[in-house]
Amino acid sequence: MTSLLRWDPVKEFDDLARRFTPFVLRNPDGRTEERQGRKTVEWTPSVDISEEEGAYIVKAELPEIQKEAVKVVIENGALTISGERTRNVENKGVRYHRVEREYGAFLRSFTLPEDADPKKISANMKDGVLTVRIEKLAEAKPLAVEINVE
């Protein structure tokens, strides 16, 4: 007895994309390279972006990275977080059975909303989490003028 399976081309494409994504996003030799004047990215930290009443909050997970190794830049309406996590190779005699954490250069870039104030941005790093606070522009409150009708 044979059973028929329904072929779903979209599912097949999603499966193919999922399988090949790690190869496309990572350098095959695991090193940072200069390509046409730009550094390639070796890994991507996880980021949460939230909104409060008066600000946008960007939190990036950057475990085992010193704040001096992180660069936060606002340019042309975009927030860019970049840096590098280096691997400690001084442990001679240590044999690793599995290494899943990624090392090397990283870069995340986000377009700022129109109501973000690029002059009022602060950043701090605590417990391996970089928090960037982007204040919103003060809203221009509508001017209400009462006019006497004659």
Tokens matching residue 110: 């986000």
Instruction: State yes or no: pLDDT of 1 exceeds 70.
Output: no
CA dist., res. 117 & res. 133, Å (int):
10
pLDDT above 80 for 129:
yes
Q: Which domains can be identified in the chain, with CATH numbers?
A: 34-88+101-136 (2.60.40.790)
* pLDDT bucket at 142, cuts 50 / 70 / 90: low
Cα gap 130→61, rounded to integer Å? 7
Q: Looking at residues 72-84, what average pLDDT do you find?
A: 93
Give me the pLDDT at residue 49, please: 95
Distance CA 31, CA 47 (A): 23
- At residue 83, the 3 state secondary structure works out as strand
Question: Is pLDDT at 133 greater than 70 in this prediction?
Answer: yes
Around Cβ 16, how many Cβ atoms within 10 Å? 10
pLDDT confidence of 81, banded at 50, 70, 90? very high
Residue-wise pLDDT for 9-66, tens only, equals 777 777 777 676 655 554 444 444 444 455 556 788 999 999 999 999 999 999 989 9
Tokens of residue 33, six digits = 């390279």
Is the pLDDT reported for residue 104 higher than 60?
A: yes
Res 36: pLDDT:
47
Distance CA 54, CA 59 (A): 16
